[in-house]
Structure 1
Amino acid sequence: MSDVKNILLVGVGGQGTILASKILCAGLIDAGYDVKMSEVHGMAQRGGSVTTQVRYGKKVYSPIIGKGQADVIVAFERIEALRWIEYLKPDGKIVVNDYAIPSATVLSGKEQYPEDVVDRLKGAFKNLTIINASGEALELGNIKAQNVVMLGGLVKALNLPEVDWVKAVRENVKEKFVDLNIAALERGMAV
């Protein structure tokens, strides 16, 4: 049986999904894990989907996660959780930001944003954590820190005490945002 763990991070362009993934990878590498990462920007600058696949363990040969193989899915937006749910293992964990970003079709009136996303997720998954990451980030003074709040929720789900997550944040964000992001990480870990 493989010791490789699979994490799928999904969000919308501009939410900081890739930065959160880079911090995640830096922390895991520093702790001695072999890490592979793959990222996809689907019209990311225009509010499209962004996905990052991170695999770590003793030896990882590929960055790609297949359907039904993700140990953890981190969704930075509610609909993205539903969009990628088929990648989660039956006993996998899901960490969801209780945040909605209407798509272009919703904004144009062609579709309705489903209001029951969180209820649908609660009904389908026992290993579900819902985080109001945008609210936590706003309390810290900058909504852009919601990505690191979500990273904190993932860190808690992974339970990897040997990883120095604060060091990973310090080494991967601009100096003027380090304190904000460390506070965001701690907020996410406390949820």
Structure 2
Amino acid sequence: MTKSILLVGVGGQGTILASKLLTTGLMEAGYDVKMSEIHGMSQRGGSVSSQVRYGSEVYSPVIEIGGADILVSFEKMEALRWLEYLKPGGKIIYNNYRMDSMPILTGKAEYKEEEIEKELERLNGSLLNAAEKALELGNAKVMNIILLGALVKSMNLEDINWEKIIKDNVKEKFVDINIKAFNEGMKLVSNEALA
């Protein structure tokens, strides 16, 4: 059975790195994995999405509308932007983080934070304070790895050697902080949330 994971965020948040680590781990675990990326203005402020599909045999890297088992949003508003891709009963993990995209910065769109939060609560999304946790660890940039840890726990993929994946794919001086971040992300997901 193929599982579909949609990771979304704003350029500069490390969405693609998290997807690449996820893909590498799934491949090493023996899954057939397909990944596709869509970069808006991904350098800064544009929408970025990455689609990862895995199973015994995966034919397409593309998640159709209504096909994602889980939506992981690195930024709150992006969760709503990509909502149509979530399957009925699918899970939403969203980061309690606001990063204004280009349309908001240029005044072409409005960031309705309260409405966004109400809608995500209504959809039973799992709210994570990954940004706060990253700052506690001393590096705001590991927010993406915290979210990856939460995703791994949510999808019951803990049996893969994620420490090795991180060691093999992250610059040596950042390995320890990334492993800490990953483990913190796993702790943020309660077992009740997986039911």
The runs of 5 or more residues in structure 1 that have no matched partner are: none
Match in the other structure for 1:167 = 164
Match in the other structure for 1:119 = 118
> For 1:92-126, what per-residue CA distance to the aligned partner results, in whole angstroms no more than 9, with x for missing partners?
11110110011233234443311221221111x23
For residues 148 and 176 of structure 1, the distance between their equivalents in structure 2, rounded to whole angstroms, comes to 15
Deviation at 1:53, TM superposition (A): 0.4
Q: 1:105 aligns with which of 103, 106, 110?
A: 103
Q: Please report the RMSD computed on the Cα atoms of aligned residues, expressed in angstroms.
A: 1.1
Match in the other structure for 1:135 = 132
The runs of 5 or more residues in structure 2 that have no matched partner are: 189-195
Q: 2:67 aligns with which of 62, 66, 69?
A: 69
Q: 1:184 aligns with which of 175, 181, 185?
A: 181
Q: Normalised by the size of structure 1, how large is the TM-score?
A: 0.94
Matched, 1:156 2:167: no
In 2, are the aligned partners of 1:5 and 1:71 still within 8 Å (CA)? Answer: yes
Q: 1:83 aligns with which of 77, 81, 84?
A: 81
> For 1:117-165, what per-residue CA distance to the aligned partner results, in whole angstroms no more than 9, with x for missing partners?
1221111x23x21111111101111100000001011011101232111
For residues 172 and 60 of structure 1, the distance between their equivalents in structure 2, rounded to whole angstroms, comes to 24
> For 1:27-69, what per-residue CA distance to the aligned partner results, in whole angstroms no more than 9, with x for missing partners?
1111111100000111111310111000000011110000000
- Count of aligned pairs between the two proteins: 187
For residues 110 and 53 of structure 1, the distance between their equivalents in structure 2, rounded to whole angstroms, comes to 28
> For 1:147-190, what per-residue CA distance to the aligned partner results, in whole angstroms no more than 9, with x for missing partners?
00010110111012321111111111111100000010011110
For residues 53 and 47 of structure 2, the distance between their equivalents in structure 1, rounded to whole angstroms, comes to 20
In 2, are the aligned partners of 1:34 and 1:57 still within 8 Å (CA)? Answer: yes
In 2, are the aligned partners of 1:98 and 1:118 still within 8 Å (CA)? Answer: no
Identity of aligned residues (%): 58
Amino acid at match of 1:150: L
Matched, 1:93 2:94: no
Which moved further from structure 2: 98-107 or 67-76?
A: 98-107
SS at 1:46 equivalent: coil
For residues 101 and 48 of structure 2, the distance between their equivalents in structure 1, rounded to whole angstroms, comes to 13
Q: Normalised by the size of structure 2, how large is the TM-score?
A: 0.92
Task: Show structure 1 runs of 4+ deviating over 3 A.
Answer: 108-111
